């Protein structure tokens, strides 16, 4: 059901699935984690592309 939703948000899925067992806090280490990902317009090397 979650994966068929066109406007799926990961945080909503986690919050719903674990609402009784987990507290979700957004934006923690956001800037630090963003450095680990390629940004739109970047040209990652072929060997680092998983969705060829």
Q: Do residues 2 and 8 touch, judged by C-beta distance below 8 A?
A: yes
b (16+ CB within 10 A) / e for 3-34: eeeeeeeeeeeeeeeeeeeeeeeeeeeeeeee
Distance CA 47, CA 37 (A): 15
Confidence at 39, pLDDT banded by 50, 70, 90 = confident
Q: How far apart are CA 3 and CA 44, in angstroms?
A: 27
pLDDT at 4: 59
pLDDT at 1: 52
| 0.75 exceeded by pTM | no
pLDDT band at 3 (very low <50, low <70, confident <90, very high): low
């Amino acid at each position: 059901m979650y994966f068929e939703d066109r406007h799926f948000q990961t945080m909503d899925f986690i919050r719903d699935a674990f609402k009784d067992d987990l507290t979700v806090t957004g934006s923690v280490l956001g800037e630090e984690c963003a450095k680990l990902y390629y940004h739109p317009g970047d040209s990652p090397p072929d060997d680092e592309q998983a969705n060829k």
